[in-house]
């Protein structure tokens, strides 16, 4: 209109340290959803098995644990369910952590061409990758619930706690994924070190073996693992005869996840000023 000034948006670097603007991310929520949908289509649209590939990795891990720990080592699962169901519930908890961590860490590198062409909140890329990866965990959870019902090991009322176990694992994985996404864009060695790190974390977490108890050094070290309460909570919510984790352990895991999320967001904000130049 005559006499009216056009609306101008000025995009300028934020403070050197701080946290991402939550309002900017909220305004970009539609973009995050579109990017997540694009991620899912790219991953499965051209695959012959489609989304069934989301079950290949967890079932392969369950088979490996069942052979290595269950048959060879003779480890018996706590509770009333067979070992393979117990291992599957642990793999599901591991996926809730590992998928956000690995997909988030690779998000900026995988979308480097997009970063150089248009402006968008940088944090939207790891968040959309994490959101897309949640489809894999949902498919694994649905298959596990079907297997529990089919084998006569239906979960009790504790299954209502399942979303809390999922969110706790996702919180920890997202916090590390956001941190690693910014560091991975700057230090490319992390891209090669990340698979090794994931394998080490898988072995250090009580996914395929029960966590040791008592006052021994190994038991005390594993008790410091913030993912262990999420594993225990997942198994208690799904399997009969499993003891619940302590409230203190859950509170410590939640506090650790929130602290890591704040630190990860601050690290991401610190590095996003130079991400486009370094990527």
User: Residue 86 in contact with residue 239, Cβ under 8 Å?
Assistant: yes
Spatial neighbors of 19 by CB under 8 A, at least 6 apart, are 262, 265, 266, 269
| pLDDT tens, N- to C-terminus, the chain (279 residues) | 455 556 666 555 555 556 777 888 888 889 889 989 888 888 777 666 666 778 888 999 999 999 988 877 778 888 788 999 999 999 999 999 999 999 999 888 888 888 777 778 889 999 999 998 888 888 899 999 999 999 988 888 999 999 999 999 999 999 999 999 988 888 877 888 888 999 898 988 889 888 777 677 767 777 788 999 999 999 999 998 888 888 999 999 999 999 999 999 998 888 777 776 666
Domain ranges in the chain? Answer: 36-278
Give a three-class secondary structure readout of the chain. Answer: CCCCCCCCCCCCCCCCCCCCCHHHHHHCHHHHHHHHHHHHHHHHCCCCCHHHHHHHHHHHHHHHHHHHHHHHCCCCCCCCCCHHHHHHHHHHHHHHHHHHHHHHHHHHHHCHHHHCCCCCCCCHHHHHHHHHHHHHHHHHHHHHHHHHHHCCCCCCHHHHHHHHHHHHHHHHHHHHHHHHHHHHHHCCHHHHHHHHHHHHHHHHCCCCCCCCCCCCHHHHHHHCCCHHHHHHHHHHHHCCCCCCCCHHHHHHHHHHHHHHHHHHHHHHHHHHHHHHHHC
Residue 48's CB is within 10 A of a number of other CB atoms, namely 6
Interior angle at CA 33, CA 32 and CA 36, nearest 5: 85
**Nearest residue to 176 via CA among 226, 105, 242, 270:** 105
What is the value of pTM for the model shown? 0.87
């Amino acid at each position: 209109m005559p006499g009216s000034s056009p609306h101008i948006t000025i995009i300028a670097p934020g403070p050197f340290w701080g946290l991402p603007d939550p309002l900017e991310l909220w305004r970009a929520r539609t973009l995050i959803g579109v990017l997540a949908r694009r991620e899912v289509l790219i991953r499965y649209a051209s695959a012959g098995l489609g989304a069934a590939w989301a079950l290949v990795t967890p079932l392969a891990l369950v088979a490996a644990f069942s052979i290595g720990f269950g048959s060879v080592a003779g480890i018996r699962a706590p509770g009333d369910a067979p070992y393979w169901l117990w291992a599957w519930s642990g793999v599901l908890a591991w996926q809730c952590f590992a998928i956000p961590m690995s997909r988030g860490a690779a998000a900026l590198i995988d979308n480097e061409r997009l970063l150089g062409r248009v402006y968008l909140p940088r944090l939207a890329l790891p968040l959309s990758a994490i959101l897309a990866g949640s489809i894999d965990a949902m498919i694994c959870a649905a298959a596990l619930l079907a297997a529990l019902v089919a084998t006569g090991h239906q979960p009790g009322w504790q299954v209502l706690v399942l979303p809390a176990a999922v969110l706790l694992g996702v919180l920890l994985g997202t916090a590390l994924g956001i941190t690693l996404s910014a560091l991975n864009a700057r230090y490319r060695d992390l891209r090669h070190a990340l698979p090794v790190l994931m394998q080490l974390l898988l072995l250090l977490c009580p996914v395929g073996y029960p966590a040791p108890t008592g006052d021994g050094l190994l038991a005390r070290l594993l008790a410091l693992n913030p993912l262990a309460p999420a594993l225990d909570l997942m198994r208690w919510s799904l399997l009969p005869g499993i003891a619940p984790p302590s409230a203190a352990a859950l509170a410590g895991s939640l506090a650790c996840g929130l602290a890591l999320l704040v630190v990860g967001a601050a690290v991401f904000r610190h590095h996003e000023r130079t991400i486009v130049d370094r990527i």
